[in-house]
Chains A and B, each alone.
Chain A
Amino acid sequence: MSEDSEHRRRRESTPATAARSPRAAFARGLGVAVSVPAAVLFGTALGFGALARDGGFTLAQAAFTTVIMLALPNQVVLVDQFARGETVAAAALAVALAAMRLLPMTVTLVPLVQGERRRPLLELLAVHFVAITTWIEANRRLPSVAPPLRLAQHLGLGTAITAVMLLGTLGGYLLAGSVPPVVAAALLFMTPLYFLLSLLATSQARMDLAAIALGCGLAPVLYVLAPGFDLLATGLLGGTLAFVWRGRPRARAEGGDRP
C-alpha cells in the first residue's frame, strides 16, 4: 500500500479511529518503524556501522555515537576525523559545520510539536530526534494529528527511528565487508531518492517546489565553488530565492492581475 493512501486515510479518519490519548499517539508514532523511510534509514545505518568499524571505533562506541548524535551525515564526519587522528577541537568544528543544517529543520519543527503547555524536558528530547528523516516524516504525518497529541506522536516516531538506526549500526558493524558492493551501492542510493520523493510529497506550496528545484540546481555549482560550505550556501541562496519568488504572485493578485 502506498504511504500516501495511508496518509489520506489518516487525514480523513474520524475521531473514533484517531489516537485520543498521548499514549496512543506515542504508539502510533512508533509505527514508523515499519515503513519505507525506516527501511532506507536502516540501510544507511548499516553503512555507518561498517564505516565506524573501519575507522577504529569499538562496537559500543559506534552504538553510543548513533544514539547520542542521531544524524548519520555528521556521524560519518566524526568517524572520518577520528580515523585521520584529528584533534577533538578540529573534529568538533567539522561536525558543527555539517550539523548546521539541523537548525532550520528544528526551527520549523518546534511550532508543529509545541502544545499550549510548555514541556521543557520533553521538548529537548523532541529536538534531539530532529534529523532529516524524522523532520520529513514529522512534516508528513503530524499536521493531520490533533495539536495536543503531536508531541507524543513525534516522541514515538523519534524513539522508533533511534531503534532502527541503532539496529542498523550494530548490524553494519558486525556484517562489515560481507555485503556485495552492488548491494552496498544500492543501499546508499536509496537515501537521496527517498529524500527527494518525500520532499515532493510534503511540499505544500509553490515556494516548496521552487526551493526543491533551486536546491537541486545550485548544489553542484556551489559544491565546486565553495566546498565545505556548499550545503549551507545552497540552503541560504536557494531558500531565499524561493522565498522572495513566493511573494510575487500574491502581490500581483492583489493588483487585480491573474494570480
Chain B
Amino acid sequence: MTFGTDGAGGYLAILLAGFLATEAWRWLGLAVGSRLDVAGAPFQWVRAVATALVAGLVTRMVLFPAGALLQVPLGVRLGAFAGGVALYFLLRRNLAAGVGGGAALLIAAQLVR
C-alpha cells in the first residue's frame, strides 16, 4: 500500500504512518514515566539521555542542515550561532536577543557576502 493523495486513503496513511508511529512513543512514555521516582537514578539517567539527544539535534541542524540553510556557508552558520550565544549571555541571558540576534547576524552576513 502506498500513499494515495486522494481523500480518505491519504488521511488513513497519515494516521497510520504519521500519528500512530509518533504517538506510540508518547503512550509508552506515559506508562513508564508514571512508574518512575523523580529522585531515583533511572529517572536521572533518562533525563540525561533526553538532554544529550536534543543537544545532538542542535549540532546536526547547524552542521548538516536541510533546505534553505544549506545555501549558507558553514563558516557563516557557525559564526552567527556563536554570536547568538554570546549575545544571550552578554545581555543577561536574554532569549529574544540570543535567537533574534543570531538570525540577524546570519542575514547580515549573507547580504554582505
Contacts and interface: CB of A to CB of B under 8 A. Distances in A.
Contacts of A111: 33-34, 36, 38, 43
Contact of B55 (A57, A92, A238): A238
Interface string A186-220: 11111111111111010100011011111111111
A239 B42 CA distance: 12
A99 B29 CA distance: 12
B69 A230 contact: no
Given A2-B93, A4-B93, A235 B3 contact: no
Give the secondary structure class of A's interface: helix
A69 B22 CA distance: 7
Interface in A207-246: 207-208, 210-220, 222-223, 230-232, 234-240, 242-243, 246
Interface residues of A, number: 106
A107 B102 contact: no
A191 B54 CA distance: 11
Interface residues of B, number: 82
Contacts of B29: 102-107, 109-110, 127, 130
A258 to B, nearest CB: 23
A232 B53 contact: yes
A208 B48 contact: yes
B58 A95 contact: no
B26 to A, nearest CB: 4
Contacts of B1: 87-89
Interface of A: 2-5, 36-37, 40, 47, 51, 56-58, 61, 64-65, 68-69, 71, 73-76, 78, 81-82, 85-89, 91-93, 95-96, 99-111, 114, 123-124, 127-128, 130, 132, 135-136, 181-199, 201, 203, 207-208, 210-220, 222-223, 230-232, 234-240, 242-243, 246
Given A86-B3, A189-B80, A190-B99, 17 more contacts: A2-B91, A3-B95, A4-B92, A4-B94, A36-B95, A74-B22, A78-B14, A93-B21, A110-B36, A132-B57, A136-B54, A182-B107, A192-B61, A214-B52, A235-B49, A235-B52, A243-B48
